[in-house]
Structure 1
Amino acid sequence: MISSSKLKSVDFYRKIPRDLTEASLSGAGLSIVAALAMVFLFGMELSSYLAVNTTTSVIVDRSSDGEFLRIDFNMSFPALSCEFASVDVSDVLGTNRLNITKTVRKYSIDRNLVPTGSEFHPGPIPILNKHGDDVEEDHVDGAFSLSSRNFDSFSHQYPVLVVNFYAPWCYWSNRLKPSWEKTAKIMRERYDPEMDGRILLGKVDCTEEVELCRRNHIQGYPSIRVFRKGSDIKENQGHHDHESYYGERDTESLVAAMETYVANIPKEAHALEDKSNKTVDPAKRPAPMASGCRIEGFVRVKRVPGSVVISARSGSHSFDPSQINVSHYVTQFSFGKRLSPRMLHEFIRLTPYLRGYHDRLAGQSYTVKHGEVNANVTVSP
């Protein structure tokens, strides 16, 4: 039988007995220095890892597009009305262009982003100096106060119902109030609601009738809407088909506008279905049929730092920020010239040689890792 001592004799990894090892001061000092060095290096690495660094690089644009850069976009705002949606451009050189319309188109959409009609043309929203009449505050109210309880009955009772949707805190609403009440009083005297019944002027406090104002897509105050009996509701999903008044807001202009509304309506119209006045009025435009808006087009900007902003804007209306929702979907937002289908095909073909890879998402093509490209996006050199 083989003893344990004979087995140990073939050990290739012999150890020095612990009794032959001895600690020394030099070894202890070296160990302490090494431990401190490791702690210091660990702290430096941790500090470098936690530090936030900002790197700025300047790239010179050597493309041949000239001084200006074209920005194409297609964005959908489910809760921002085309009536007030404004495309604004500004830059560090002082350029400030508000409500660009020449190269921008707007389409009313519903909350599902489905268009509800043709291109929306609200016309200019004026910045008026002559907004209202300065009259005494103790004037007699001439406009009927409307609410969700009686609004539908009034709109079906009178051939023409003109409504001022306002907010008590709004500066422009308070400027309009004397003119509106005076105009309503004059129209009641000329066209008695019970004896004549062709036109009625009303008012709605949007701080009290929130749902009624939301139903009529009111986002700016004051908003004057013209409802016509028999044509204010379409069969097409119940969309409203009425008009917005964009004219001057003094009493004389308002009375003149109201007279045009009843000019072609016979006196007995309150007992008949109105055929509506087809006269074209430049101060009158179709009211938005839905609460959303799709904005598409392009702007040309200088090649300097700046911003493109889409927001609710008007020179003669106020807005309640809590009622304005600018959440949006971006279908396209691109810079520079658009790629032709042939160029896009060639770029995808050469992608493997450019150390990128080609991917598809939601039916569109992208080149990622070294750039993100689709048919509407510029390839940067």
Structure 2
Amino acid sequence: MSSYGNPRSSSRPWQAHVDMYRKLPVDLMEGSRRGSMLSYLSLMLMVVLLFWETRAFFQTTLVTDLALDISDDPKIRLNFNITMTDLRCDWAVIDVVSVLGTDQNVTAHVTKWNVDATGIRKGYRGRNRNQKDIVLFDEAVTESIEDLHANGEDAISLDETTLEIFKKEHDYVFVDFYASWCSHCKDLAPTWETLAEVMIDAGKSDNAQGTGKMHLEDYSEEDYRHAENVKMPVVIAKVDCVTQPKVCNLRENIRAYPTLRLFIDGKPWPGGSDYKGHRTVRDMVDWLAHMEEQHKSLLEQQGGEAEKARILHKAHEATRQRLGDDESEAVAWRTHQQNSMRRMYQEWKEAEHPGCQLSGHLLLDRAPGNFHILARSKHHDLAPHLTNVSHMVNSLSIGDPMAGMKVISGEAVVPDGVRDKISPMDGNVYTTMNLHESYHHYLKLITTKAPGLQVGRRDLKAYQIISSSQLAYYRNDMVPEAKFAYDLSPIRVSYRQFSRRWYDFCTSILALIGGMFTVVGLVESSIQATVSLSRRGGRSYRR
């Protein structure tokens, strides 16, 4: 009887398929299950790979290229803001040295600010400040210092004790702080002695004897008339800082020679007590008259007495008696012993150590060289052991400031480590604690180009700085300097962004799909062959 006529078969039509499936070989059934599992695994793997591939397509990578640094610009720009913590603006100069030449006392594009001992920048601002050219001595004084001393010294020599006595006993004391080895001091000595004679004789013109003009042949009539404008008596004195280092270095903080300082009522004049004009008798007398008028105005404002009755020649004679006639008393005044130079240097008085902030930019040759900040004066000889070039680097960078700002702000696309190398010295303080030493800095400059370093159609260049610093030691007769040596790397670093093309992405997708099916097929075939071989081996063993 046919199965189609069987009522049981017609009521259960799917049973035939079940029976047929049960009659299939065991190998075929296991192969189907294995294929399904591999299909699911390959599909999951394909989805993951497609996700990663798509993500990589939309991302960009940074590629680094190295090439020779070739530039048509013969100069590079160095931007700086450096505070010299113990160097006055009057003496702070910048020199630039390269293998192509030397440029001393650079003032173009440089601004100086006076900084007080606490580090506060003062309001006074001097742009491109030059050391003023002054007359270093009076050419009208033709006599030597020995000839002028033939009938006695009129400029009174003071020491630690006598200086304090004269400051207490006299309203005006004009002191020349000098050093015996100083060339400018030697040139000034005859002029200073003549100034003392002029002031003494001018003060004697009103005395009872009416002598006046005792040494008129030693100076001109015009100088004498200028001296008569000074109504108050002024003591002209001098201090040798070689034999009196304590009073010069500790008390008066003398750093350069000669320093001409006026004491009024025992103290330096707050408006500026150091004379910085032409070192001629006439100019110095006019300055003394001007300072006298300022002092009188201050006394009148304070309600004090403007005129004081003092006779200069009496004070002068008393002083000469102390220092000349009574030599034993003078020797007694010189019994105080001075401390060593190193001890003096370490006894720090904040109020006596103003600083200077230098800011601006330099145009340097594209060649190895250096720039250094040091103390130098056209009109003074500086004491090397008192020159302190401790400094703080507020900012220092190379190239266009806009390029550096773009790198630091993140507008330029560079690796993270590059940002720290644009201004690696910013905020560093380099303080020297001993005499005759200073910090030297060595800068390796690497030209850098990157995406985002554009302003309009102009491409900017940034410069990475690899810096190192070390303490340098100087001879006792050399003035220390803060030195910044630089050298350009011959290799330029360029960064560029790289992203995949769309056709590259499509090709990768097709290759991924085709490769996945191929790999799954190979795996399935390998597994099937391995299972078949193992089963044949099992049947042979049972036989």
Scaled by the length of structure 1, the TM-score of the pair is 0.61
**Partner of residue 250 from structure 1, selected from 274, 280, 301:** 280
SS at match of 1:217: coil
Counting only pairs closer than 5 Å after superposition, residues 13-162 of structure 1 correspond to structure 2 as 59-62=68-71, 66-100=73-107, 103-110=110-117, 113-115=119-121, 118-119=124-125, 124-126=131-133, 128=135, 130=137, 133-136=141-144, 137-139=146-148, 140-152=152-164, 154-155=166-167, 157-162=169-174
AA aligned to 2:195 is T
- CA deviation after TM superposition for structure 1 residue 207, in Å: 1.6
Any residues of structure 2 matched to 1:293-312 within 5 Å, and which? 293-312=356-375
- For the 8 Å contact 1:230–1:273, the answer to whether it is kept is no
Cα gap change, 1:313/1:304 in structure 2, threshold over 3 Å: closer, same or farther?
same
User: Would you say the 8 A contact 1:128–1:248 is kept in 2?
Assistant: yes
In 2, are the aligned partners of 1:77 and 1:329 still within 8 Å (CA)? yes
Equivalent residue, structure 1, for 2:521: none
Q: Distance in 2 between matches of 1:248 and 1:314?
A: 14
Offset from partner CA, 1:84-120 (integer Å, 9 cap, x none)? 111122332234232526522132332x544466446
Aligned to 1:33: none
Give, in angstroms, the shift of residue 187 of structure 1.
0.8
Give the 3 Å change call, closer, same or farther, for CA 232–308 of structure 1 in structure 2: same
> What is the CA distance between 1:128 and its match in structure 2?
4.0
Counterpart residue number, 2:499: none
8 Å contact from structure 1 (residues 81, 217) kept in 2: no
**Equivalent residue for 1:189?**
201
State the 1:252 CA deviation. Answer: 3.6
Q: 2:236 is matched with which residue: 183, 195, 201? A: 201
The answer for the alignment partner of 1:328 in structure 2 is: 391
Contact 1:160 1:261 in 2 (8 A): no
Judge conservation of contact 2:86–2:355 (CA < 8 Å) in 1. yes
SS at match of 1:190: helix
Report if the CA contact (8 A) 1:166-1:173 is conserved.
Answer: yes
Gaps of 5+ in 2: 1-65, 208-230, 308-350, 428-444, 449-460, 465-492, 494-543
Deviates more, 1:127-136 or 1:302-311: 127-136
User: Aligned runs of 1:283-362 on 2, under 5 Å?
Assistant: 290-339=353-402, 341=405, 343-346=407-410, 350-351=414-415
1-structure distance, mates of 2:97, 2:426 = 34
TM-score using structure 2 length: 0.45
Contact 1:334 1:378 in 2 (8 A): no
2:274 is paired with a residue of what secondary structure?
Answer: strand
CA–CA separation in structure 2 for the residues paired with 1:58 and 1:160: 70
Query: Given that residues 112 and 125 in structure 2 are in contact (C-alpha distance below 8 angstroms), is that contact kept between their aligned partners in structure 1?
Result: yes
The answer to whether the Cα contact below 8 Å between 1:107 and 1:118 also exists between their aligned partners in 2 is yes
Distance in 1 (CA, whole Å) between partners of 2:420 and 2:295 is 65
Q: 2: distance between equivalents of 1:356 and 1:103?
A: 28
Are 1:220 and 2:269 an aligned pair? no
Once residues 362 and 124 of structure 1 are traced to their aligned partners in structure 2, the CA distance between those partners, rounded to angstroms, is 29
Q: Is the 8 A contact 1:217 1:291 kept in 2?
A: no
**Cα shift at 1:272:** 5.1
How far apart, CA to CA, are the structure 1 residues paired with 2:107 and 2:426? 31
> CA-atom RMSD, angstroms?
4.3
CA distance in 2, matches of 1:154, 1:101: 45
- Residue identity in the other structure for 1:210: P
Aligned 8 A contact 1:74 1:332 in 2: yes
Distance 1:248 1:119 in 2: 23
Write the letter of the residue equivalent to 1:216: E
> Could you give the per-residue CA deviations for residues 332-372 of structure 1, whole angstroms, max 9, x where no partner exists?
222112246554221697535xx7687999997xxxxx989
Which protein has the larger Cα radius of gyration, Structure 1 or Structure 2?
2
SS in 2 for 1:243: coil
Q: Is the 8 A contact 1:231 1:241 kept in 2?
A: no
AA aligned opposite 2:113: K
CA distance in 2, matches of 1:208, 1:120: 36
Q: Letter of the 2:142 partner, please give it.
A: D
Q: 1:151 to 1:231 in 2, by over 3 A?
A: closer
| SS at structure 1 position matched to 2:385 | helix
Pick closer, same or farther for the CA change 1:346–1:249 going to 2, 3 Å.
same
Query: 2:197 is aligned with what amino acid?
Result: K
Q: Deviations over 1:41-94 (max 9, x none)?
A: xxxxxxxxxxxxxxxx9952548xx44322122223333222211112233223
Write out per-residue CA displacement over residues 291-325 of structure 1, whole angstroms, 9 at most, x where no aligned residue.
Answer: 43332222223323332121111222112222222
The amino acid that maps onto 1:97 is Q
What's the counterpart of residue 340 of structure 2?
A: none
Helix, strand or coil at the partner of 1:149:
helix
Cα 1:357–1:108 change in 2 (3 A) is: closer
Cα deviation 1:120-156 (Å, max 9, x = unaligned): 6986342647555331314232223333334455445
Distance across 1 between alignment mates of 2:426 and 2:367:
34
- How many residue pairs get aligned? The number is 291
More divergent stretch after superposition (301-310 vs 336-345): 336-345
Q: Are residues 333 and 323 of structure 1, via their aligned partners in 2, closer, same or farther at CA, if it must alter by over 3 Å?
A: same
* CA deviation vs aligned residue, 1:209-258 (integer Å, no higher than 9, x gap): 3233234332111111233338737xxxxxx6533322222334333433
Give the letter aligned to residue 203 of structure 1: K
Moved more, 134-143 or 97-106: 97-106
Select between 244-253 and 112-121 the one with higher mean Cα deviation: 112-121
Query: 1:334 and 1:188 mapped to 2: Cα distance?
Result: 58
Match of 1:11 in 2: none
